[in-house]
Structure 1
Amino acid sequence: MAQYNAVPTAEELQDLLLESPGFSEFLLGLTTISASLLGGETPMLCAITVERDGGPATVASSTEAARVLDEKQYEFDDGPCLTALRTGQMVQIPDLHSDIRWRGYANAISGAHVRSMLAVPISTDNGSGAALNCYSNEVGAFDPDTVVAVQRYADSLSRTLRLALRMHSSDPYPAGLRSVLESRAVVDAAISLIMMQNRCSRESAMKLLHLASRNTDRRLHEIARDMLTRSGDPDQGTGKHDWTP
């Protein structure tokens, strides 16, 4: 069973918000970390949906596929993540093929090969709602331990997300910057993960990442992506410097 010792606390997430270069980078990095830390042995896609001013929006996603899976629900104005967001209740789907609650949505995303889903509400201020949405291509991917880990993580996100939403508008990041931001988010997420695992400053984490890049003659983005992938592998451990090539 995968371990989730590296899931950050609310205080650590607030520090990451203050350390991030910008709001979009923070959100994109946050969902990248979410998918990496929560996935464990099972590959997972993560996204955060926020609804305020009468409309839902995916404010961040670990991949483009996760964003599309979220936004398909908006076309129906219904779905697991919107239900979790609007009711404040967790929604778990062990097998999307056999679930009859959102058959239209399931048919619309059939090409994505998603088999199980988990949507957990995130507490926000009055007038808005949010949910952490997790997708897997495996049936029954969200066992009791994983569900507890996702719920605990969603609770830790609440304070930081409320603060972020107060500080910034709900306008999505410009489409033309999406690919650039996602590339930067991978590196920022890796830096944030090093900061949490080693209890070090952002500057120290950046130095460690640059050192790994020089020692292996690989690009920062490649090192960061490998590190985030390996952080969810229980065989790699969660101790200090476990990510070092």
Structure 2
Amino acid sequence: MDLTSDQIRELTALGGLVLGQDDLVGTLQEITRVACRVVPGGEACSITTFENGRPSAPAFSDEWARSLDELQFAEQEGPCLDAARTGNVFRTRDLAGESRWPAYAERAVDSGARSSLSIPLHSDGVNFGALNVYSRKPDAFTGEAVALAQLLGGLAGQSSQVAAAFFHHRDLAGQLREAMRSRAVIDQAIGVLMAQRKITADAGFNVLRETSQHLNVKLRQVAQELVETGELPTRRV
């Protein structure tokens, strides 16, 4: 399989894709755009995933790709579902004569689709979804296109795994930073109460807690108001 310089560049860039995105869905969305540019014959792409056993299309290159996925969800049959569930590659040469998913195939043709590729996505040895490539032309995908889509699917699975870990740890780090900031302002507020009322740290914390419960606001907000004004809030902050 001979790759063009553009295809090589696109595939190589997948390794660092996560660093340019805000979340996992953004990473998956960009993967669908890469697939449309890289896989010969592809006009639209999507990614199917499962959450609590229910299929969804969190990423797609355009609304047409999403609608083709959702037709499969509605009919409970189709290549993207089978690829995700079985781990097999499904190439549909012509949906107009497809007998494996008759209900879906008829509706897909009505929507303008004629051929498709569905490549399973793996993470830690587990199928978590499928990469789907659609075309309005029959038999749009050659054997080389299938091989390239499989290569892309493997790289996409790795990128998704890295993205999931990256954003999970980033979120945890953010939560830790927020907790540290909250702890700092609460400690400052306790210090203010100790100085004002000549009470212990434990008693100061109890004052903050009781005020928080009485006003039904977060403890950190009560502490912040006290630090900024020198007084406890008497209404919702």
Distance 1:25 1:147, change over 3 A: same
Match of 2:54 in 1: 55
**TM-score when normalising by structure 2:** 0.63
CA distance in 1, matches of 2:134, 2:77: 17
* Residue type at the aligned position of 1:150: A
List alignment gaps of at least 5 residues for structure 2. Answer: 169-237
CA distance in 1, matches of 2:95, 2:109: 9
Q: 3-state SS of the aligned residue for 1:8?
A: helix
* Residue type at the aligned position of 1:143: T
Structure 1 residue 121 corresponds to structure 2 residue 124: no
Match of 1:86 in 2: 85
Q: 3-state SS of the aligned residue for 1:67?
A: helix
Q: 3-state SS of the aligned residue for 2:45?
A: strand
**More divergent stretch after superposition (23-32 vs 75-84):** 23-32
The 8 Å contact of residues 23 and 167 in structure 2, kept in 1 or not, is answered as no
**TM-score when normalising by structure 1:** 0.61
Q: 3-state SS of the aligned residue for 1:6?
A: helix
1:62-77 to 2 correspondence within 5 Å?
A: 62-77=61-76
* Residue type at the aligned position of 1:96: L
Match of 1:96 in 2: 95
Match of 1:16 in 2: 17
Distance 1:79 1:167, change over 3 A: farther
Distance 1:84 1:52, change over 3 A: same
C-alpha root-mean-square deviation of aligned residues, in Å? 2.3
The alpha-carbon deviation at position 80 of structure 1 amounts to 0.4
When Rg is computed on C-alpha atoms for both structures, the one with the higher figure is: 2
The 8 Å contact of residues 52 and 129 in structure 1, kept in 2 or not, is answered as no
The alpha-carbon deviation at position 167 of structure 1 amounts to 5.5
Post-superposition, which runs of at least 4 consecutive aligned residues in structure 1 deviate over 6 A? none
Cα distance per residue 1:67-109 (max 9 Å; x no partner): 1101111112221000011000001111111111111001222
The alpha-carbon deviation at position 18 of structure 1 amounts to 1.7
1:1-245 to 2 correspondence within 5 Å?
A: 3=4, 4-9=7-12, 12-39=13-40, 42-125=41-124, 129-166=128-165
The 8 Å contact of residues 46 and 65 in structure 2, kept in 1 or not, is answered as yes
Structure with greater helix percent: 2
CA distance in 2, matches of 1:78, 1:111: 16
The alpha-carbon deviation at position 38 of structure 1 amounts to 1.7
Cα distance per residue 1:32-64 (max 9 Å; x no partner): 12112224xx35211011113211111200001
Percent of residue pairs identical: 30
The 8 Å contact of residues 52 and 128 in structure 1, kept in 2 or not, is answered as no
Higher RCO, Cα 8 Å, sep 6+: 1
Q: 3-state SS of the aligned residue for 2:97?
A: coil
Distance 1:144 1:128, change over 3 A: closer
Q: 3-state SS of the aligned residue for 1:130?
A: strand
Aligned residues: 165
Q: 3-state SS of the aligned residue for 1:5?
A: helix
CA distance in 1, matches of 2:152, 2:107: 29
CA distance in 1, matches of 2:59, 2:108: 19
The alpha-carbon deviation at position 22 of structure 1 amounts to 3.5
List alignment gaps of at least 5 residues for structure 1. Answer: 170-245
Distance 1:129 1:25, change over 3 A: closer
